[in-house]
Each structure stands twice: as C-alpha cells, then as structure tokens.
Amino acid sequence: MSRGRLDLQALERAVADGSIETVLTLVPDLYGRLVGKRILGNFFLEEIAKGGMHVCNYLLACDMEMDPTPGYAFTSWETGYGDMHAQPDLSTLRTAAWLDRSALVICDCRDVATHEPISVAPRNVLRRQVERARDNGWVAQMASELEFFLFRESYRDAREKGYRDLEPFGAYNEDYHILSGSFAEPVIGAIRRGADASGIPVEFSKGEASAGQHEINLRYAEALEMADRHVLYKNAAKEIAAQQGAALTFMAKWHPMHGGNSMHVHMSLCDLDGRSIFAGEELLPGAPVTASKRFRFAVGGLLEHSRDLTLLFAPTVNSYKRYREGSFAPTRVAWSFDNRTVGYRVVGQGDSVRIECRIPGGDANPYLVYAGLMAAAMDGLEREIDPGPLFEGDAYAADSLPRVAGTLPEAIAHFDKSAFVRGHFGDDVVDHIVHFARAEQAAFEGAVTDWEKARYFERG
C-alpha cells in the first residue's frame, strides 16, 4: 500500500490502537469544496464504511454561503430538501496527516431509494466520462498545477480587514526564487509534507510570478484519482496555513495589481495496458517532437469545444478577471509547442508527450474541468477533428484567433446552447450547472462593490 493510503484492515488496526480516532467522510460539492461529517472511527467501521450515510441533498443545490438556491429541478423547497446517500469509495481512504489522529474518505452521491448515482454530483459527472473512455479502450492521465497566494494574516484577520490591505508572504516577484521561498517554507513545507504523507504524492513547490504567490505540484494520476487529490490538497493547504496563523487563496484574481491563480491541467490518454496513445512517429509541423494522429485529433476536439466549456474552466464572476494580455493567462484558443501565450501547450516528448490546458483558474472544480477536457478530446478522436497548424508567436496579439469567453454570462450562453455539451453531459447536468452559474451571476449583480462606492459615493 502506498504512503498514506489505508484499507479497511489498516483502518481497523489504527482505530484499535488509537492512532486514528476520527474519519472525515466527504462529498465534493459544485464549487469543488469538501462537505460532510466527522465520524468516530469505531462508528465509521461499524455502520458507515459499508452502509454509507445520509446527507441533505441541498449540498448540491446551494451557494457559497450554504443558502438553498431556488429553481433547481434536482431538489427544492417544494420537494422538502430530502436526503441523498453518500457511499464511501473505500479506494480513497487515506490518513489526514495534517490533522490529529484523523483519516478521510470521499463518498459518491446516490439516490436514497434506488441507490443509482446522482447525475449532477460532480464526481459522478467525471466518472461517466471515465467509464465512457474505458469503454473505448482509453484511460485519461491528468495532473493539476495549482497556484495560490499566501498571506501573513489569518483567515479571521483577513475577514475583519474586509480583505483589504493584506500582507502577502513575500515582497516581490518570487518566480523560482529560493531565498524568498525559504521565508515561506514554514507554511509551504508543512503543506508539502502533510499532503505527501496523506496519499497525495507531491513533486515540488516553487515561488510564482507575484509577491506571495506559490505553486505546489502533485504527481499525475488517472483522472478520478487526480481530481480527488486536487480537492483534498486544496482543503489541506488552507487548513495547514490556518494552523500557522496564515491564510491562502486559490481565487482566480485576488487583486487587480497581481497575477491570477491558474490551474494548468496536463492530459494524456493511454490504452488499457498503460501505453500512451498520444505517442507516435509523426513529426508535428513547427515542433521538435513527434506524436500520433490520435494526439492531433484529441487536440482538435479540445480546440473546437473550448469556448463551449469555458464555464467549467472559469465558474465565477472573478474567474474572468484573470484573462489579461501579457499575464500568462490565455486569452486566445490555440495550440502551440512550449508557448505560454496560448490556451493549449504541447509539452513532453516520446511516451510523455501531452497537452497542457492553461485556461482553467485555481477556483475551478477539477471534476468538471477533467470531465469537459475528456469529453472534448474523445469527441475529437471519434470525429477525427483536425486541429490545424500549431500557432507560432504571441497569441495575445493574434486577433485572428478565437477568444476565450470574456464574461460569466457569455460562458453560460455558450455552455447552455452547446449541442456537444448537452450530448455528452445530458440535459439534467447542463441545466443544473447553468442554474448554478446564473445564481452566482445574480448574487454578484445584487452586490455593491468597494469600487462602486469609491467611484460614485461622492462624485457620482
């Protein structure tokens, strides 16, 4: 068994000897947050491990404030906000090394009466694409590269300051800086160690391109496992920072004068024996690497459907403030070799050749991002979509290239009207995500911002 992972027998021994007392039993929600219960180890083993637990189904139909949102077909006040069944996926059982005597497990959401998977649950949305890929003989390998900003204030202090005048854990651009990284190492190192000891293998950490910005890279894995690692790592990073009186944020754009937080996704497809179907002998024009025709077709699907999928990559109003020219966040949909100005960057060589999607932000839900990327790539493979030539040059200045959707309403419209999205996800899932996004937009439109007060209070 790999480092930090548990099976039921290991958990039974740990509960018996007192090294594990609590099992966090978790459900990923529409934001990609983890919600659930803390369950005593003995009760988890006796009742929950095989039988699961009930949680209120409003967890898949509420907003960031945990307020029930009217208008969902899935559940509502009219239906009484009943229960759904949360069934532990015991393959996700692992220690939570950053917490005292704790383990955790991620659950799948099922209907209480039929025990069928709930279609709108993000983990089930991804699982359907994983199963569809496997039916075609393919397995998707994914890796998320997540950026965040680290602050010297605690979360409580940040709230009390209205999130204004926060002090980043750094004073200058920290990209690859070892010295400034050492100043933040008490927090960053604790996150690396805590995640790696909990079955979330870590490759490295580094400073990023703004004061206080960092990145910790996780080892790649199959799509569902990688999405689980992603949400667990984000939660762990926040909790570990809080333990040290600090705070960090993955929001796409926390400050107008600083860079955004990206979620760069590396994707490759393998056959059922683990051999890359992207590797091949065909030289990519304009690039010193070879790949297969299937690699080209997969990229063709990604390029064709990117605008329809932007809502999954950028799910909030704030997400779109990250897309700025010259910011390393893409504004155009194109593919290129080792070029950080485009939406899709070809990286690696030989068996490791892969595509990096640079469009998602650190606020995106990985289950939905991965599901969208897989659906698009598979459509490209099935329809043999040609991606055209690799782009060369500065994509920010290339007016001929299609733009990434620029606002949340624009992204909602593309997603809602897309025959491709509805065909691959189903009307129930699409309508649920669209309603979620429209509620997010409505919440913003009802808010009065600091910018508005500064601009109009006296002079308006």
Q: Say which CATH number the domain at 374 has.
A: 3.30.590.10
Higher confidence at residue 376 or residue 205? Answer: 376
For residues 80 and 141, membership in a common domain is answered with no
Last residue in a domain, options 118, 146, 161: 118
What are the φ and ψ backbone dihedral angles of 278, each rounded to 5 degrees?
Answer: -85, -25
**Does 101 fall in a domain?**
yes
Res 287: pLDDT? 85
Res 2: pLDDT? 86
For residues 408 and 375, membership in a common domain is answered with yes
- pLDDT confidence tier of residue 50, bands split at 50, 70 and 90: very high
Q: How many CB atoms lie within 10 A of CB 239?
A: 14
Would the pLDDT of 446 be above 80? yes
The answer to whether 105 and 92 are in contact (CB under 8 A) is yes
268/112 Cα distance (integer angstroms): 36
**Does 100 fall in a domain?**
yes
- What average pLDDT score do residues 172-194 get? 90
**Does 106 fall in a domain?**
yes
336/321 Cα distance (integer angstroms): 24
Most confident of the ranges 77-81, 302-306, 338-342 = 302-306
Q: How many CB atoms lie within 10 A of CB 70?
A: 11
306/323 Cα distance (integer angstroms): 14
**pLDDT tens digits, residue range 22-46?**
999 999 999 999 999 999 999 999 9
**pLDDT tens digits, residue range 262-315?**
999 999 999 999 999 999 998 888 788 999 999 999 999 999 999 999 999 999
- What average pLDDT score do residues 187-213 get? 94
Res 209: pLDDT? 87
23/96 Cα distance (integer angstroms): 9
Average pLDDT, the chain: 95
CA 83 to chain CA mean position, Å:
26
What Cα–Cα distance (Å) separates residue 96 from each residue in 200, 217, 287? 10, 18, 43
For residues 327 and 427, membership in a common domain is answered with yes
The answer to whether 95 and 102 are in contact (CB under 8 A) is yes
**For residue 138, which of 292, 332, 245 has the smallest C-alpha distance?**
292
**Does 2 fall in a domain?**
no
The answer to whether 423 and 429 are in contact (CB under 8 A) is no
- pLDDT confidence tier of residue 252, bands split at 50, 70 and 90: very high
The answer to whether 247 and 151 are in contact (CB under 8 A) is yes
**Does 78 fall in a domain?**
yes
What residue numbers bound the domain in which 278 lies? 130-451
Res 1: pLDDT? 74
Lowest-confidence segment of 8-22, 174-188, 313-327 by average pLDDT: 174-188
Res 178: pLDDT? 86
Would the pLDDT of 181 be above 90? no
Q: List, in order, residues 6 or more apart from 398 with CB less than 8 Å away.
A: 332, 334, 391
**Does 373 fall in a domain?**
yes
For residues 113 and 147, membership in a common domain is answered with no
Res 161: pLDDT? 96
216, containing H or E segment = strand 213-218
- What average pLDDT score do residues 109-114 get? 96
What are the φ and ψ backbone dihedral angles of 208, each rounded to 5 degrees?
Answer: -110, -170
Res 354: pLDDT? 96
What Cα–Cα distance (Å) separates residue 276 from each residue in 201, 292, 295, 349, 351? 22, 10, 10, 11, 6
Which ranges constitute the DSSP H helices of 136-281?
155-160, 178-183, 185-196, 223-243
Q: Say which CATH number the domain at 42 has.
A: 3.10.20.70
For residues 263 and 400, membership in a common domain is answered with yes
What Cα–Cα distance (Å) separates residue 414 from each residue in 136, 315, 417, 423? 28, 13, 5, 14
Last residue in a domain, options 118, 145, 165: 118
Domain count, the chain: 2
38/44 Cα distance (integer angstroms): 9
Res 434: pLDDT? 98
**Is the pTM above the cut of 0.95?**
yes
For residues 51 and 137, membership in a common domain is answered with no
